Structure 1
């Protein structure tokens, strides 16, 4: 290798970037590596906080693009880049992967994923890769887990995460009754892997999505945000799961099913665990339980988000999505455990330790989608190890890590209206609704101030019960339809004071609903992007916007920051999001300070 470097130097050629080995010790201590971004949330606690401060309140005005990597793919782009010792690893829509020189933007290698099936339940977006043990790991939209050689990009192993997607809905069900429909659907119940994997102690952890997704019909007008979503009662989908695979061989080590084999009906709660009333008739549900003995076989509970990991306790913290069938609840009496829950698992075995079901018997699509966040909560009796989660409901929940006990629920960071009202034939307006609140967007946390920074959306939704008369005396088709209310919608970026019981310290309203994620730095800055193409930096203490740049496509991915040869960079994907009508693109844009 030394001879190769000497020859390259003699001929005036740049040496290729070489990333060092990432082992378990480096992953556990990732927060201490100021120049790198070693995992999805930068560290196991998912804090997305960087100690770098070359780019700060005083210098932010000199932040300019340094290089741009064009992926060649124009589609929803949600990836968090991973940066290891000067090499940036990027997943792209449709699960292509590139290794890039993090200082120059030069491509080192590229892997082109060949899907085993053309169908995608939930769109083409990949939220990132994991890097460890000389490999790059990616979960794919066709429900596979692939290990690539980190030096060359060549596949090392490729295994199926899941193969049975279960029965799915179709547009034809609506057409059969001559209902007015959109021409096609962009998604339905199915299976895929959307999240960035997490590597823990020799295991690669991923989960499957789409098992409670519902039928997403195209918007009536081009670039309109969020078309109609339809949920049918009946037997659609399958249970979701998280699973761990051996990093060396791809062998499945354990699997946690997000719907239990028995007991998924729970205790028929009439309120949420924090005491908010639900529109349920527990007696009726209990009486009808026998009519649906196999409901749990189709139970849903997608795994949308990369877990957080506490290396001291050995616990993983995972979010679980909505039950299946989506929205229409008539064929699934009971609480529908463990859907719409934050849960703690033993990282070695996948055994459930506790769960907190934010919404028992969900009717609205309130998945636990934003990644859990680990932090320390100071108290009079000493620090408490806490796990927080920014919910679609519009509250930030904080729990004691070992027991799951609720420590506090924040002030609402988006407007709330008819939060748990039932759908009606006339249509029920609900906010936040299925979009959130905080959707999948990761939160950032400043351990010095105790502020959690949450990106969220205000998109009121109308939930309507529909019925299509049966033909030739057949049974009528009943379903629930959700559709955004035709009115202005917008976003919020909120600083939540975890040391003040979840009080809102400051909030900025943005022109577009925020879908993507947040980065916080020791330079006193908070970065996030908007669907109209702006990438913004805010003062972390006051919320004042200090800088912005127009990226040319929706910035709907979480930004990261890293350092190479004493230069701090900020990187973000600009590729838009078709579900929200945000302009598509295919660029990774990397910024640094303009030198005087």
Structure 2
């Protein structure tokens, strides 16, 4: 009987909510309720869980027991695979095959290593510009689009023709000798071939949002009989370079899942959903399998018929209370058997990620030498600076994978993972913990400005988010890794020497969460706010910055504060003065407001703040709200430089055979700081590395808009060139008529645009370099 009443009650709630959502009068007011309708099903499920499993609920929403966590051993280890169980190498690449560049990241192994050596560490200083091509299709609203306008795909080169996407959403073919445009194709959607494209038997194939596109490589026309006019539409978006496997096109998508299409017709052959339903429960609450999207790249072992890909973080990003458990489908490297259509193995780096520290780099297939034996492995670099080296068939680590006990959370319902990675080998190439010892040392004023910001911030090794008991917002959390370590460009590997070259960032970030009322309760709260005197005036004059719920926001590098508890901090008279005269970064808004309107705003701030604070902190249970991100922004000093000690950007060489760092050098320069006598600091960078048999490592992607060549033996910078715009993609190496070229895409924009819009201004350039003897 009780169950029947509960079901009836749920149905009534559904009807009421559906009615409200479809009433035209309320649609405008409810537009900002965080996709209310899409959350109702999930929250009603929680409602049933709460009604039927009260004891389990109370248990689930308890705060973690710190003493229990403290009693665990300090370290745990996933042992390295035994030498006799390692997979012997069977598909070592030939030197001739590595002269080609038929797929973005070079080939199906994603090695990004060229055996061309005409340009080498003895003559690279003579390298000069052979030609420059401009696509002349930069969007007129590029400044508005900001970071979205960029090219992340490194071009491919086939039979003397370059194929690449442009900032104007075209695919173009360019003569690789002189830089003349051969043809262009307007794509069906924005950001075509976002992370790359592939050539196969006269066809150029790439994804474009929800489209899979096939073009004739000679003409740029849609491939005959492929889908409809050369395109096939999927239900799901994909950003990744496809892989050609026999007569299939394999793609990964945001479902997240895998799809196979017929190479000639585009017909969908099969699909595989990566997220399976789980019956696992934690304190009675069902495990939620969400996100873990493969978004950067993947590789193919052709002989073994296995693909390898990374998986992103779970959702929601920052709030682990909604997804109990280690979320072992995410933050991982996965091997998938294409013949049996099943996951062969998966290896997780970070458990229960609440810091946006997913595995972002494409797995690389190579071989290493262990005790005199050549072993086939898959290698992936990560955001926290780890290098995962795994046996290709078993997924077992080549080195002991050491884990360290992590800190328990103080948030009800948040169960952090007991252990997180703390590797000895391979040696980490990036900083993994912000501390007072990491505060900038470039100047005393810079240091003081950083320390002042740390007064109300938390930091530490895998430090969880935390709230004061009477706070609507979390303390700022300072951490490395949000944009690397290594990001999507990944690394370059010399398969003959077993050396990996990786670019990385050591940039600290500030993260703040806030308590957000779930939709079912938010409706009631919104109606109450609507009836407070001054609601309409506040909405018109103040809500664009502070929000109708007083929550504030982050906009244009300005943190607009949450003022829901201003009624406790200020008197009505003080708030009135803030409105009239302004306060800190808030300008005066009193000039155009009558005394009556100012009084109404003050009243709304007091009454609504009291209501919101009391509702969230006093009347709601922990399961009635969740934790959403207010901002995650770069943590900077008063001049806008990173708040940590340099170097802020690096290029590192790692010996994969023993896991040791060979050398590391700053990547990028702030001339302003160099002129002060400060050693080169490196800058934030997103260009990746490309190595060659000529003893060189090329890299662009820095904020100083340069492409550089380094000696692969010792990391010494040998050559550089000022680009018209910053690059955001790895360098491509190719050869035509016996001449070696180095090709860089310079489109600006990207994440670098957020970091420094002036230096990362948008562009449309492709520049190829060669030695003077080609004239």
TM range (shorter): 0.7 to 0.9
The answer for the alignment partner of 1:327 in structure 2 is 318
- Provide the C-alpha distance between the structure 2 equivalents of 1:349 and 1:155, rounded to a whole number of angstroms: 32
Maintained 8 Å contact 2:384/2:431: no
The answer for the alignment partner of 2:282 in structure 1 is 286
Q: Does 1:91 align with 2:165?
A: yes
Maintained 8 Å contact 1:40/1:198: no
In structure 2, relative to structure 1, the CA distance for the partners of 1:415 and 1:32 (3 Å cut) is: same
In structure 2, relative to structure 1, the CA distance for the partners of 1:454 and 1:548 (3 Å cut) is: same
The answer for the alignment partner of 2:502 in structure 1 is 454
Q: Does 1:519 align with 2:697?
A: no
3-state SS of paired residue (1:579): helix
Deviation per residue, 1:318-338 (Å, 9 max, x gap): 111111122222221222241
Shift in Å, 1:456: 0.9
Shift in Å, 1:124: 7.4
Alignment of 1:57-456 (within 5 A): 57-74=121-138, 75-93=149-167, 95-115=169-189, 126-140=194-208, 142-156=209-223, 157-163=230-236, 192-209=237-254, 239-262=255-278, 286-290=282-286, 295-296=288-289, 299-380=290-371, 382-408=373-399, 409-417=425-433, 418-425=460-467, 426-456=474-504
- Provide the C-alpha distance between the structure 1 equivalents of 2:192 and 2:301, rounded to a whole number of angstroms: 31
Shift in Å, 1:457: 1.0
Maintained 8 Å contact 1:318/1:371: yes
- Provide the C-alpha distance between the structure 1 equivalents of 2:732 and 2:505, rounded to a whole number of angstroms: 21
In structure 2, relative to structure 1, the CA distance for the partners of 1:446 and 1:63 (3 Å cut) is: same
In structure 2, relative to structure 1, the CA distance for the partners of 1:547 and 1:499 (3 Å cut) is: same
Shift in Å, 1:130: 0.7
Maintained 8 Å contact 1:31/1:43: no
Q: Does 1:465 align with 2:513?
A: yes
Deviation per residue, 1:162-208 (Å, 9 max, x gap): 25xxxxxxxxxxxxxxxxxxxxxxxxxxxx32222221212222222
Q: Does 1:494 align with 2:655?
A: no
3-state SS of paired residue (2:745): strand
- Provide the C-alpha distance between the structure 2 equivalents of 1:522 and 1:342, rounded to a whole number of angstroms: 28
3-state SS of paired residue (1:562): strand
Shift in Å, 1:461: 1.7
Q: Determine which structure has the larger strand proportion and give its number.
A: 1
The answer for the alignment partner of 2:404 in structure 1 is none
Shift in Å, 1:396: 0.6
Q: Does 1:584 align with 2:768?
A: no
After alignment, is 529-538 or 414-423 more displaced?
414-423
After alignment, is 564-573 or 331-340 more displaced?
331-340
The answer for the alignment partner of 1:3 in structure 2 is none
- Provide the C-alpha distance between the structure 1 equivalents of 2:166 and 2:113, rounded to a whole number of angstroms: 23
Shift in Å, 1:419: 4.1
- Provide the C-alpha distance between the structure 1 equivalents of 2:365 and 2:165, rounded to a whole number of angstroms: 25
3-state SS of paired residue (1:431): strand
Shift in Å, 1:381: 5.6
Shift in Å, 1:240: 1.3
- Provide the C-alpha distance between the structure 2 equivalents of 1:305 and 1:246, rounded to a whole number of angstroms: 23
Maintained 8 Å contact 1:394/1:432: no
- Provide the C-alpha distance between the structure 1 equivalents of 2:340 and 2:184, rounded to a whole number of angstroms: 34
Deviation per residue, 1:531-553 (Å, 9 max, x gap): 32110100000000001111121
The answer for the alignment partner of 1:537 in structure 2 is 709
Q: Does 1:39 align with 2:103?
A: yes
- Provide the C-alpha distance between the structure 1 equivalents of 2:386 and 2:371, rounded to a whole number of angstroms: 25
Maintained 8 Å contact 1:534/1:548: yes
- Provide the C-alpha distance between the structure 2 equivalents of 1:360 and 1:94, rounded to a whole number of angstroms: 39
Maintained 8 Å contact 2:232/2:266: yes
3-state SS of paired residue (2:272): strand
1:575 alignment partner, one of 725, 740, 747: 747
- Provide the C-alpha distance between the structure 1 equivalents of 2:713 and 2:272, rounded to a whole number of angstroms: 40
Give ranges in structure 1 of 5+ residues lacking alignment: 1-26, 164-191, 210-238, 266-284
The answer for the alignment partner of 2:6 in structure 1 is none
- Provide the C-alpha distance between the structure 2 equivalents of 1:208 and 1:288, rounded to a whole number of angstroms: 32
- Provide the C-alpha distance between the structure 2 equivalents of 1:29 and 1:544, rounded to a whole number of angstroms: 28
RMSD (CA atoms): 2.4
Shift in Å, 1:570: 0.5
- Provide the C-alpha distance between the structure 2 equivalents of 1:259 and 1:468, rounded to a whole number of angstroms: 27
Maintained 8 Å contact 2:92/2:367: no
2:634 alignment partner, one of 457, 462, 484: 484
- Provide the C-alpha distance between the structure 1 equivalents of 2:311 and 2:516, rounded to a whole number of angstroms: 32
Maintained 8 Å contact 2:368/2:376: yes
Deviation per residue, 1:451-475 (Å, 9 max, x gap): 1001111121223231357443686
3-state SS of paired residue (1:155): coil
Deviation per residue, 1:407-432 (Å, 9 max, x gap): 13421111111342211235354432
3-state SS of paired residue (2:150): coil
Maintained 8 Å contact 1:73/1:585: no
The answer for the alignment partner of 2:662 in structure 1 is 505
Maintained 8 Å contact 1:76/1:584: yes
Q: Determine which structure has the larger helix proportion and give its number.
A: 2
In structure 2, relative to structure 1, the CA distance for the partners of 1:411 and 1:534 (3 Å cut) is: same
Deviation per residue, 1:30-79 (Å, 9 max, x gap): 86235431122223221111111111111111111111121224421112
3-state SS of paired residue (2:122): coil
3-state SS of paired residue (2:295): coil
In structure 2, relative to structure 1, the CA distance for the partners of 1:256 and 1:518 (3 Å cut) is: farther
- Provide the C-alpha distance between the structure 2 equivalents of 1:549 and 1:416, rounded to a whole number of angstroms: 32
3-state SS of paired residue (2:629): strand
Maintained 8 Å contact 2:133/2:766: yes
After alignment, is 31-40 or 527-536 more displaced?
31-40
- Provide the C-alpha distance between the structure 2 equivalents of 1:98 and 1:329, rounded to a whole number of angstroms: 44
Deviation per residue, 1:298-324 (Å, 9 max, x gap): x11222122111122221111111111
Maintained 8 Å contact 1:421/1:428: no
Shift in Å, 1:438: 0.6
